[in-house]
Structures are given as structure tokens and as C-alpha cells.
Amino acid sequence: MDEIRAIVEAVLFAADLPVAPERLVELLKERGVDRQGIVAVLEDLREEYAQRRGGMEIRRVAGGYQFCTRPDLAAWIRRYRAGRPPALSAAALETLAVVAYRQPVTKAEIDAVRGVDAGGVLKGLLERKLIRIVGRKEVPGRPILYGTTKRFLEVFHLKDLSELPTLEEMRALRPEGEPGGGTAP
């Protein structure tokens, strides 16, 4: 039963969503466990985490079980996440830079600067709330205009857009020998 307990704990840890006991029974059917046995393991783990008073607990959520941060520690998690910028791909950073420096800007204008279709990247930046729709351009077709958000300023620790580095400052940051950077002739 220790191995089943370890498997259940590992599955809960790895799961993004609550895990239903029935799913665990299906997963462990070759081990001969039934729903009652799985629920007993889940409840035992839940009680163990509750008594331990560590950073996590196991909760019954939406018909399943899930690891969660203890509610009294939520402020610490928010503080941690606020200080950590989201991991962005090079394409996302390029697109974000175009939006930041040229806003309000249309998708077509972003595509022209980057030389590739930015549709998927824009969607991701919208989902992360780093950019937002600020209106529509007054031209035929009325394309959507994009701009940065308050979240963008928070993530990049900027008071306002005037704190964005200038082109000269960005060139100075490039290593020597790289095109447009350093002190190379």
C-alpha cells in the first residue's frame, strides 16, 4: 500500500487539475485497488498534510483532490509571483518591444516591423495581460490597436513608458563586436 500511496501523492503533485478518485482507480487498476481504497489513501494523505502544517495541503475540489497552497500563505505566493517576470520567448519579447515603443500599433504594423505573422504571439501577450486592445485605427477595415498594460509596467519594473530605454541605451548594452553595440568601430 506504501507504493500506491506514493503513486497517488505523485499524481496529485503533477496534476494541473483536481484528480477524481475514479481516475486514480482506473490508473491503478492493475494493482487491484477499488474506489474505497483510493479514497482512504487520499483522506490519509489529506490528514497527514493538514497535521504537518507545511506550505501545502490536499483539498477536495470539484469532485477530486488537489494540492493547494495553504490559504494563510497566499500573500507570500502573490509577493513571490509579482517579483518574477513571466518567461517570454524571443518572439514574444520582440513583439512586446514593438508594441511598447510604437503604441498604439496594429497587428499589420507589428508584422511589418518583425517580418513575420505576430497573431499567435499577440494572443499570448493578451492572455498574460501584458498588452491590451486600446481601440481601432480610423482607416478602412478599422484594425485593432494594441498597447501595453499596467501589468507590463509592473513586470518590467517601470514607473511609466518614459522609463523604457532609448535606442542609444540599448546599443550600449550590446556586447562589443555585435552589430550596433559596444565600442567597436
* Amino acid present at 127: E
Tens-digit pLDDT profile for residues 106-125: 999 999 999 999 999 999 99
Domains of the chain: 2-74 (1.10.10.10), 90-173 (1.10.10.10)
Q: Please tell me the chain's helix, strand, coil percentages from 3-state DSSP, rounded to the nearest 5.
A: 55, 15, 30
CA angle in degrees (0–180, nearest 5) for 66-71-77: 90
Q: Please, how many CA atoms are within 13 Å of residue 149, restricted to the half-sphere of its CB?
A: 12
CA separation for the pair 156, 86 (Å, rounded) = 10
CA angle, corner 116, sides to 102 and 154, nearest 5?
Answer: 40
Q: State pTM to two decimals.
A: 0.50
The H or E element spanning position 31 is none
Q: In whole angstroms, what is the distance from residue 164 CA to residue 2 CA? A: 55
**Is it true that the peptide bond before 104 is cis, omega within 30 degrees of 0?**
yes
Q: Which residue has the higher pLDDT, 86 or 159?
A: 159
pLDDT score for 184: 37
CB 49 within 8 A of CB 58: yes
- The interaxial angle of helices 107-114 and 90-102, nearest 10 deg, is 120
Angle at 147 between CA 102 and CA 79, to 5 degrees: 120
The answer to whether residues 96 and 125 touch, using CB atoms and an 8 Å cutoff, is yes
Residue 179 confidence (pLDDT) above 80: no
CA distance 118 to 133: 15
Question: Region 27-35: what's the mean pLDDT?
Answer: 89
Q: What are the cell numbers at 147?
A: 498597447
Per-residue confidence band for 185, with pLDDT thresholds at 50, 70 and 90: very low
- What are the tens digits of pLDDT across the range 63-121? 889 998 888 998 888 888 776 656 889 999 999 999 999 999 999 999 999 999 999 99
